[in-house]
Amino acid sequence: MSAQRARTSAHKPPRCPTCFDDRHLAVSTRTAGLNTFDLTALTAPALLVALLLMFIGGGPASTAGGIKVSTAVVLFAVTVAHIRRRQTVSVGPGARCHPRRSSRR
């Protein structure tokens, strides 16, 4: 049985050597911006994702730059509601907003 295990484990795909770099890039672009590898080596799609993450920034209570994740979610929800020509914006279950209604009278 151990010989069979040795044969099956030899055919496992190797771990991704850049997985740490990918996770580190996703986190560092949203917080401190610490570079541990050459950013000029990024492909165009990877650079676009990094720029998008930098634009969004961190969470609402963080000191990271950017527009914050909650603002990005609200902007996305408003855009989807506008495309669907809805009068209300729904961000979650039971959470509705009427953007065209004003509280001023």
- For 9-59, the pLDDT digits (tens) are 444 544 565 666 777 777 777 776 667 777 788 889 888 988 888 888 888
Q: Is the same domain home to 48 and 76? A: no
Q: How many helices (H) and strands (E) does the chain have?
A: 4, 2
Residues 27, 64 contacting (CB under 8 angstroms): no
Q: Does 49 map to a domain? A: yes
Q: Does 78 map to a domain? A: yes
Q: Judge residue 57's burial from the number of C-beta atoms within 10 Å of its C-beta, 0-12 exposed, 13-18 middle, 19 or more buried.
A: buried
Instruction: Please give the residue range of the domain that contains residue 74.
Output: 68-105
Q: What is the percent of the chain where pLDDT is above 70?
A: 66
Distance CA 40, CA 26 (A): 16
Q: Is the same domain home to 30 and 72? A: no
